[in-house]
Each structure stands twice: as C-alpha cells, then as structure tokens.
Amino acid sequence: MLQNGLSFPSWPIGLCSIFLCARYQNSLETVLTIVSLYFWPCMRSSSGTSSTVSRKWGLVFAALACAIRPTSAIIWLYVGLLEFVKARDKLKLIFLEVAPIRILVLGLTCLLDRIMYGTWILVPLNFLKFNFLSSGGDYYGTHKWHWYFTQGFPVMIFSYLPFCIAGIIYSKHWRYACLLAWVLTFYSVLGHKEFRFVLPVLPIALIFSGYCLAVIEDPGLPGYKGKESSKKLAKSSPKMILALIFLLATNIPMALYMSLVHQRGPEDVMNHLAREARHGKVKNILFLTPCHATPYYSLLHHDLPMRFLDCTPSEEKGVLDESDRFLMDPVPFLSEYAKNKSLPSHIVLFDWEEQKLKSLLNSYDYREERRFFNAHFKVDRELEASIVVYVHTGR
C-alpha cells in the first residue's frame, strides 16, 4: 500500500490472534480487510489496465469481511464512496460488480445460517438491530466518546504512535489516513467500545509507522522530499538504530507481560480443573465470576456439568441479569442458590468476591483448594488479583 514502507509487529495483533473466538473473528476480518484494500483501485497510487479485475477481487474480500463481521461495512462505506466518485463506469460498478458479488456472498451466508440454526435467519439484520438500532452493545459497558482517540487506539499502537503520525505526514497518503480517522470517528459515536473493533485499521497505522522508519533509514525515498537517497547504505543510521531499540524495548516486554502474566488466572484455573477431572476429583463446577470469564470447556476437555452466571441482555430496560444481581449482593444470591439447587463439588471465584463469601462458603463445608495469580492492576471492575478454587469437603 505504501511503497518502500517497513512494517513491524504490534503486541495487540499477537494477543488478538490467540485470545477467544471473538478475537479470532476480528483477526480474520483484519486479514480480509488488508487484502481487499490492496485490490481497490481507489486506494492504490496507480491503477493499471486490470483495474476492473482488481476491483472485483477487492469486492469479494470486502464482502467476505462483512460476512464475518457486518460492522466491517463501516470501512467499505468509505472505500466504496471513493471508488464510486473515481469510477467512470458507475452503473457497471453498482449493478454488474457490487450487487452480484454481495448477493452471492449474502446468499451463501444465509444458507450456512439456515443449516446451523435450522431456520431461515438474516444474521446481519439482527446484528444491526441489536448493536446499532437498539444500542444493545451498551449493555456490556460504555466509554466516553473520545476513548478511541485518547486511550483505546493509543494503547493499541503503543510506542508506534509518534512514528505513525510522522509516517502520515511524510507519505502524504491521505486516503488511508482519512480511512483511519473515519473508522475511529464512527466507532466513537457508539457507546460500547472495545479494542478489537478497530483492529482492522491497526495494520494501516503500522504501515505508516514503517514508512517513517524507512524515511529515517533513507531520507531519499520516493514520495518524501528529503535528502537525496544514498544508493547503497553501508550501515544503518544511528537514528534508525535508536528507533529500533526503542520499539523493541517497549513492545517485547509489553507483549510478554500481557500474554504470559496479565490476567492469566482463568487459564491456570481451567488447566488445574482439567487435571483434577482426569483423576476423577471433579463432579461439577459453579463459576461465581462475571460471565464468560474463563475458557470453560475449551480447556477442560471433560464432559462435566458446569455453570456460569448468565448475562443475557433483557428485552426490558432496567432488568438486571443474573451476573449483575450476584455482583450487587453476592451473599443473598449464593444463599438462594444453595436452597434451590444442589451445591457443586467446586466453586470458582475472584478474590474480591471471595472476601464477601468466605464465611458463607465455610458454612457450606467448602475450603480453599488452590489460588492462582491473575493481575497486578484492575481493568474494568475491582482488582481481580487472584482467582480461587473452593472444593466441597462434605461432612
């Protein structure tokens, strides 16, 4: 996309590639987005004679990205309008390229959903209704409008940020810079915000960073009016060496800490329960944690009854889900649970919940079995420093 640019990995891309199914989905969307952008004539410096063929390939990958995540349409609205303004054959673009490809991909996704759900359903429409028309995403938390600009995206790009800004200025590739700004601005309007939502444009920011590094290495790059290029560089410039040391010294420790240390408790606890299950020591498990806080069956690999607190959004506003009711007042919740249902052999909870429930758990003949480190600092809720496993001892 940006000629003579260098690209270096960023720690959020690596993390999003290994955490949870939702991140797999966003990672695949990111790959399809970058591949598609390569083929769009309006996003390239020069269009060859095969621009129509290239555009069709761009449409195919864009349609697949939208099939994976309908919100990918935010990117293609911008790119599509640019291509429409630039295209000479506008009617051909709409009726002979966009419409057939979109209908084909939509039909295939509907057929796949029909097979999986057992009934005809238009998932993108339901996605649009829940996330945009009813603001259902706000149910899972909201951030201020400027979060992506002041916290979200700066954290994702991390120490590459100054290189990205310089790369935008040096390259003057405003179409990609505006695409970056458009996506961040659009998502800023929505209340519910997550890092992974803007992952597809992170590689664009990294490419700008790479361009800046290339300019530092050789100021005579095409498109940058700096010093004359030296045809052969005997060795890297001191500025380039300092830049690389800075990036490595900031990104490698961050990647190692965030992937190996921070919030590792849920994975450790499931590995422990899996080992116990292999020896027949686990009968059933209750997770008194925020919903979806652990890898669950994906790490247990045993057919055991397990239950976590439900956080399904209610159609009625103001109605608290099971998870919220527990977090508001855990002692009455667990007491009521013990009256109506049989107690499990193991209970898993975070330490800040344990402080309120320890006496009650002891009264039900539970004792602490294992405690696993989880985090040094809080993220969304109270500090979840450790995650604890309680086992029922029986009488």
Domain of 280, CATH number, reads 3.40.50
Provide the token pair at 198. 């803007």
Q: How many domains does the chain have?
A: 2
pLDDT in tens for each of the 395 residues of the chain?
A: 444 445 455 655 555 544 445 678 899 999 999 999 999 999 987 655 468 899 999 999 999 999 999 999 999 999 999 999 999 889 999 999 999 999 999 999 999 999 999 999 998 888 888 888 777 788 778 899 999 999 999 999 999 999 999 999 999 999 999 999 999 999 999 999 999 999 999 999 999 999 999 999 888 766 655 555 555 555 678 999 999 999 999 999 999 999 899 999 999 999 999 999 999 999 999 999 988 899 999 999 999 999 999 888 777 777 788 888 998 999 999 999 999 889 999 999 999 999 999 999 999 999 999 999 999 988 777 788 999 999 999 75
270 & 186 share domain: no
What's the predicted TM-score (pTM) here? 0.85
Q: Is the dihedral of CA 153, 157, 158, 162 positive or negative?
A: negative
- What 3-state DSSP class applies to 374? coil
312 plus 208 within the same structural domain:
no
| Torsion angle (degrees, nearest 10) of CA 3, 46, 13, 170 | 50
Asked if 93 and 223 sit in the same domain, the reply is: yes
Same structural domain for residues 338 and 236?
Answer: no
Indicate the SS3 state at residue 5.
coil
Q: Are 61 and 32 in contact (CB under 8 A)?
A: yes
Q: How many Å separate Cα 52 from the centre of its chain?
A: 33
Residue 65 lies inside a defined structural domain of this protein = yes
Residue type, 344: P
324 and 362 co-located in one domain: yes
Return d(Cα 372, Cα 175) in angstroms, integer.
48
Which pLDDT tens digit goes with each residue over 339-349?
A: 988 999 999 99
C-alpha separations of 244 from 22, 160, 229, 235, 344 in Å: 32, 11, 20, 14, 53
Residues 118 and 106: their CA atoms lie apart, in Å, by: 17
Helix, strand, or coil here: 392? strand
Query: Does 149 share its domain with 169?
Result: yes
Same domain assignment for residues 83 and 191: yes
Residue range of the domain that includes 227: 11-260
Residue 298: both structure tokens together: 């994906």
